[in-house]
């Protein structure tokens, strides 16, 4: 469908524009140059789609952001974190391709690695093959994670409610097996140089029919109001619906979930995907009143067995102490 649809989508407007001009000229024969341009455009787009389907699923890109906060503790000036999201291990088949992405994560040498949910498609057993590879991720100050909407097993039929719960319990153990501290509506302190920042993680909270297991109030119940806070929350809709109005300021929220729809265009600062009509914040960095949300485009894939224009992502953020602004 994509091979047929995408080239037509972008080449037909060329013919349409020419037809409008021909209408006022008595419909002369179509210009050869316009036909050549149309065929060339379709050919380039066909190759682009073919690349996305065959190679795009492991065409990992590192995206970097530097974020400035006036109240960041001095000891954390220059602190780095690497975020991955939406692994969807049940979709993987290429061990070398997956390892390529994991090696890229380790190559960032960040202080912490954060995973923002959807480790599997449905079942914890999907990760069995990949546990050794993901256990190889390393960060000097630890690895931390939250659950995503797919991790609860809500999208398949289980023999009994107990079987579903057993699967979730097993998945929680998998997070431990790969060395990630799973945060379930809770927070911890990251300490450095005698100072600290708070890392909080909520269970999945989504709009539009998605379950709302997340509890930000519980996660920050024992956190000082003036603490510097980073929040992991799988679904970006949580940011506007809950986080921005939370009585304690959340300096940086990290999310995923959208995958950038695994299809779109990002060129020269222009960014578009059909998912933007579903999620207001759907890929990259967003800011409001000194608070930031970063939506990761995802490490894996689901449904579409590839990525076209919205490449799999390793996000690296550097925190700096200073006037509030950001730079890519």
Contact, 27 vs 288, CB < 8 A?
Answer: no
Q: What is the pTM of this model?
A: 0.89
**What token pair was written down for 114?**
């954060």
Which of 18, 37, 53 terminates a domain? The answer is 53
Interatomic CA distance for residues 253 and 262, integer angstroms: 22
pLDDT of residue 21: 64
**Spatial contact of 107 and 84, defined as CB atoms under 8 Å apart:** no
**Same domain, yes or no, for 42 and 66?**
no
Q: What is the pLDDT of residue 12?
A: 60
| Number of domains composing the chain | 2
Model confidence at 163, pLDDT cuts 50, 70, 90, reads very high
Q: Are 235 and 259 part of one and the same domain?
A: yes
The separation between CA 301 and the C-alpha centre of its own chain, rounded to angstroms, equals: 11
Please indicate, yes or no, whether residues 31 and 84 belong to a single structural domain of this protein.
Answer: no
What pLDDT, in 10s, does the model give residues 234-261? 999 999 999 999 999 999 999 999 999 9
HSE at residue 206, side-chain half, CA atoms within 13 A, is: 18
The per-residue b/e assignment along 95-115, b for 16 or more CB within 10 angstroms, e otherwise, is eeebeebbebbeebebbbbbb
CATH number at residue 126: 3.60.21.10
Residue 42 and residue 28 in one domain = yes
Tell me: do 170 and 247 sit in the same domain: yes
Same domain, yes or no: 44 and 63: no
Provide the 3-class DSSP secondary structure of residue 17: helix
Question: Structural domain of residue 222, as residue ranges?
Answer: 59-327
Do 186 and 96 fall into the same domain?
Answer: yes
Do 22 and 111 share a domain, yes or no?
no
Q: Are residues 45 and 165 in the same domain?
A: no
> For residue 59, what pLDDT is reported?
97
CB 221 within 8 A of CB 136: no
Q: Are residues 151 and 249 in the same domain?
A: yes
170 and 251 share one domain: yes
């Amino acid at each position: 469908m994509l091979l047929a649809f995408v080239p037509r989508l972008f080449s037909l407007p060329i013919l349409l524009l020419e037809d409008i001009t021909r209408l006022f000229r008595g419909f002369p024969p179509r210009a050869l140059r316009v036909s050549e341009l149309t065929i060339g455009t379709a050919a380039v787009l066909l190759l682009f789609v073919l690349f996305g389907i065959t190679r795009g699923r492991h065409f990992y890109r590192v995206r970097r952001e530097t974020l400035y906060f006036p109240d960041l503790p001095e000891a954390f000036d220059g602190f780095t974190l690497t975020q991955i999201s939406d692994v969807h291990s049940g979709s993987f088949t290429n061990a070398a391709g997956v390892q390529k992405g994991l090696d890229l994560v380790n190559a960032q040498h960040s202080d912490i690695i954060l995973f923002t949910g959807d480790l599997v498609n449905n079942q914890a057993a999907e990760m069995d093959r990949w546990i050794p590879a993901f256990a190889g991720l390393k960060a000097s100050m630890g690895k931390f994670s939250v659950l995503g909407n797919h991790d609860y097993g809500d999208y398949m039929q289980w023999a009994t409610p107990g079987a579903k719960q057993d699967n979730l319990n097993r998945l929680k153990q998998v997070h431990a097996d790969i060395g990630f501290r799973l945060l379930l509506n809770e927070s911890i302190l990251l300490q450095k140089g005698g100072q600290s920042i708070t890392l909080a993680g909520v269970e999945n909270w989504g709009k539009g029919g998605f379950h709302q297991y997340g509890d930000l109030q519980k996660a920050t119940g024992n956190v000082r109001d003036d603490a510097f806070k980073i929040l992991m929350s799988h679904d970006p809709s949580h940011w506007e619906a809950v986080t921005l109005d939370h009585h304690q300021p959340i300096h940086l929220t990290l999310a995923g979930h959208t995958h950038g729809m695994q299809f779109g265009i990002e060129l020269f600062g222009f960014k578009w995907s059909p998912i933007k009509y579903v999620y207001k914040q759907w890929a990259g960095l967003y800011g409001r009143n000194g608070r930031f949300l970063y939506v990761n485009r995802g490490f894996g894939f689901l449904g579409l067995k590839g990525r076209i224009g919205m490449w799999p992502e390793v996000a690296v953020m550097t925190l700096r102490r200073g006037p509030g602004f950001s730079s890519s």
